[in-house]
Structure 1
Amino acid sequence: MMGRARTSLLRLEGAWWMMRVNIWMAIMVPAGSFAAADSPTPLELLAAVLATVLAGGLAVVINDILDRDKDEVTAPELPLPSEVVTLLQARVFAIALALCVIGLWALASTTFLGWVLALVVSGVGGILVVLYSFAKPYGLVGPVVGGVAYSTIPVAAWAAAGGGVGPYPIEIVIVYAVLIGTGGIIHAAIRDVDSDGKVGNRTVAVRLGPERALRLGTGFYLCSTACVAWAGVISSHAAAGAALSLATALTVLYAHRTAHRRMTGLGVGRVTRVTATRPVTLSRLACHVAMIAIVSPLLAAVVGAISLVVLPLQVARYRARIYCGGLRKELEA
């Protein structure tokens, strides 16, 4: 009995890691909520963050289910191809996540209409994630589809908060999210450049090579920093917006230089490339924090501090349990 219970807990952990809990999604929620005419209460904001995290996790689980055959070649260490989680368990987990998302958006919404709109927008995001799985082989099309899917996060938060126009219009946040999301997906695909071509995924990294893909993704990040300045002008904080935009752009450029140097010095391999590109991944945090700081410098500081603590711990744990096979080895023991 204890053996069966332990196995169930380990498989549940595997399902949790399938979500690859994305802190970037959580950080996008305040940017969308603050664009609404009325600011959400702390409880509503927390519910929106949790709904977004689980919705993002659901999208990743769906993506893994759709890509399970290709992942056997490109990412055999993931829970599905490594059989830490079965296909049936993944589907049940996806349904459970969907039900939780529905309930959390109800808590986050100020009106019934806001709840419905938040669910609709989240549903559109889910559809776009499915389309992204099929768009991967088509170069830049895949990242753009993923970037548009990413933009549904702040829109859902804005709808739940009641919509309207706040310090800055939601359109600025949408443009920002598409740019930063597209760049992030381009960077993320660099880790699989050695294997994606073998399964027909003609990603930007496969087509251009890792170094040029790194530059292109960084270019999208730099364009997103202009949205920070734009939001500052609209919200009557032009000087702060310009300063934050410049500081963020310099951070992105420094991170790019560091990542490029690591890529040329560390060699090849999925784990190696993840390590090499980590500086540009972290520079995305600076972009998000700057966007929040336009409205709430205090919240931006808190979010930044928490993220700097949580991200390294999450990366280290995921690497030990999934990349290095710690979870799979425990199940086989």
Structure 2
Amino acid sequence: MQKRCRIIYNPTSGREALKNDLVEILNILERAGYETSAFATTPEPNSARNEATRAAEAGFNLIIAAGGDGTINEVVNGIAPLKHRPKLGIIPAGTTNDYARALKIPRDNPIAAAKVIAKGNTVKMDIGKANDKYFVNIAAGGLLSELTYSVPSEFKTLFGYLAYLVKGAELLPRVKPINMHLEYDHGVYDGKASMFFVALTNSVGGFEQIVPDASLDDGKFTLIVVKTSNLLEMMRLITMVLNGGKHISDPNILYVKTSKLVAKPVDEKMMINIDGEYGGDAPMKFQNLKRHIEFFANTKDIPDSAITEIGEDALDEAKKHFVDGVQELDESDNIKLDK
């Protein structure tokens, strides 16, 4: 039976360049053995999520989220609750494209991203659950939430990640800590903090050193709590992030691995950001769903330390290359190997 693929694309993501490449993307996937069709999301709420659920229940083998991190989040929310989940591919067309960055998928070339999918290498990725919502990259409370909500969507489209940096510089002097109660695997944090976040990958807001030891499939979040709101200390921490992730041992940072987190406000409201969008208010429970969804990825460029197991397709491909290599060695050097 021929495999089927459904591309769910956001026609307004980024600078709207994706539509120009759509025909070539369809051809690449058809040549890879998929009967491929496309669905353009609409302004209606949950358009991508609803189509992802429909396609999964209709038996599609592969769903591709083509757009920004928001489109990926919607597609994941469409299939994560299902018992039988298709594989997912990503064609980036957004602003920061954190998830594509973590999977080493080309972020400025949709055709190259489609070729990564056609190659067939996959990783079974952890995803997060926050109460009844799912996320693939990060959930946060505090400064990061305020920063994301304060950047107008048209600024994100025109100026990309620069828009976040400009808005962040504007907001830092106004940041104040709030009292938080955070329960994690082996401890509790009670005290003031300017923000906390739980991360699933090493790419947070375009920075790849915030979680320098990230694993994509070990069943653990990285919990980071920023205890200070002092402007000079915050700037120093940012410098440490950029200087190889040295912030993780700073006394103003709590940095731990955990499979779950319960976040509760103490004396004021605490909004929760889920993959860059408002996800509700605390109290909120976060749970890591280990190796829950299989994503196509550029596995050769992902550090070995970030993956504990590769997907079945990638394993088959590795075995094929090993057998081919043995045959070439046997024929060229006349070396016989024990079977």
Same-fold call, TM > 0.5? no
More strand by share: 2
Superposition TM-score tier, normalisation by shorter sequence? under 0.3
User: So what's the TM-score if we normalise by structure 2?
Assistant: 0.26
More helix by share: 1
Higher Rg: 2
